[in-house]
Copies of this chain bind each other. A is one copy, B any other.
């Protein structure tokens, strides 16, 4: 398909290099620089290079070897090797009638390409999209697909942000995947990591001051967002975002760990990104979504710019997960400690953040700020009962499904999918997959491999875990074990849970009060002694009994059962719930009318 080399693919920013030489096929060609530090071919390309694709790279100063292009679109030979030209504009899109998809009202499905199917490719993933559409999913969220070293990992070790991992099928397969999603009415959200680079194959520091040496976050050197020469580093991020949204027709981005973006400029990189994405949204005439993974509990991130905020569309709410997790499991270790009451979950339904200026014992300080619940729509918070991090960061990578009974899983589903927030389901959760989702890596470098394997053990050793359950991330079997088993969803209890998820999503489309985005429509009550929580929102009520004893509670107004998890019944205003049971109720009147 690509017949002409896009000219911008043979340029590179290297402001501190004395000399840059273009390696293009067998040719070595002189480059010259402009004032901003961008290098471009000094003379027209040899005729035989005029049609692509070609392998190419940049030789800095007196280096012997060409480095891959920081904006490489394709790395067919691995992240340490030459890049290959790829014309993103050449794809024959068949989504011309796609008018985009807004986040409000949507349900997200988080998916890791490598373990979603046995093949672990984007092409294989297309075969499963009909399953997602049948469940009622609106958005497929792909964990990072950018190029990394090795054959498989979670994706957060990317080093070439503009390239699609070749093992997933590269950029062409990615375009086909997005196209296939749009054919089925599914939007695509891409998880992107702008806060650090992976440990192997990161040549960016050779080209320019992309990183701030010595200033590290949890995962590596911080990205240079406000230091000298950071204008171009910010463009590197923003133009990457544009590439996904514009050239790959992606509908939204999930911004990894934005709390690790160190930026002291007057306009934060997140706001700058939001402004640019808003402009692009008008150009492509479809909604574009930006979702932050943030542990800051800072409402400013999701406040529109007209309201003085950064203007992101949404952010993850860990508080919802933590409150639900504690309610289900009773686990109050570590950062779960503050969530040691069902009232915490109730507060989350009413206010969004649990930590909204309250003391966080885990952090040893107050944390967060209050959301303007009179004006902020609830769907700006993305919530889940499990996700890649929650599962994979457990020692054995075990899902909630392996530790809860069926009814508890149903409760988790009910309380998440019927929350007023934007629910996110982690792949396989919808049928209670028995497969774990473990931490896996494939570092080819022996030292790095060993360090990661040892580090993983040490991490859990410190927490006094039984280390025999901790799989070796470098063992290929750890990766294989994490792949979904597609024979499960049609079977027994798996099929029942799948039917429940499908029915719950259907309820979102049937009763407007379920997705009503007004925080102040929720009134929550709970009883820690008896283990129940009641959330009334308009004419919809969710009643949950987390305890292993039957219990009873009173509604504000009479109700009837729309859906039951486990055993329960209602007589006028009196609700009786069996152990680990829940009811979705249609109230006779708006219980929460002011």
Contacts and interface: CB of A to CB of B under 8 A. Distances in A.
Interface in A277-292: 278-287
Interface string A498-524: 000000000001001001111000000
A546 to B, nearest CB: 28
Contacts of A372: 306
A377 interface: yes
Contacts of A287: 102, 287
Contacts of A549: none
Nearest to A512: B283
A285 B99 CA distance: 13
A105 interface: yes
A375 interface: yes
A509 B96 CA distance: 13
A275 B521 CA distance: 13
* Interface range for A: 35 or more
Contacts of A392: none
A105 B282 contact: yes
A308 interface: yes
Nearest to A380: B306
A456 to B, nearest CB: 40
Contacts of A350: none
Interface in A111-157: 138
User: Which residue of A98, A283, A286, A517 has the most chain B CB atoms within 10 A of its CB atom?
Assistant: A283
B281 A185 contact: no
Nearest to A251: B99
A282 B517 contact: yes
A547 interface: no
Interface of A: 96-102, 104-106, 138, 184-185, 187, 275, 278-287, 303-309, 372, 375-377, 379, 509, 512, 515-518
A90 B474 CA distance: 58
A276 to B, nearest CB: 10
Given A307-B307, A516-B279, A517-B279, A102 B375 contact: no
**Chain A: interface secondary structure?**
loop
B97 A283 contact: no
B99 A278 contact: no
A9 B375 CA distance: 34
A254 B331 CA distance: 53
Contacts of A379: 282
Given A275-B518, A279-B517, A517-B279, A105 B284 contact: yes
20 contacts: A97-B184, A99-B99, A99-B100, A100-B101, A104-B282, A105-B281, A105-B285, A279-B512, A282-B515, A282-B516, A283-B515, A283-B516, A285-B509, A304-B304, A306-B306, A306-B307, A306-B309, A306-B372, A306-B376, A307-B307
Given A306-B303, A372-B306, A286 B512 contact: no
Contact of A306 (B96, B105, B284, B375): B375
Given A283-B512, A285-B102, A278 B185 contact: no
A279 B518 CA distance: 8
A515 B286 CA distance: 13
A516 B308 CA distance: 20
Contacts of A303: 306
Nearest to A275: B518
Contact of A307 (B102, B304, B509): B304
A102 B100 contact: yes
B285 A106 contact: yes
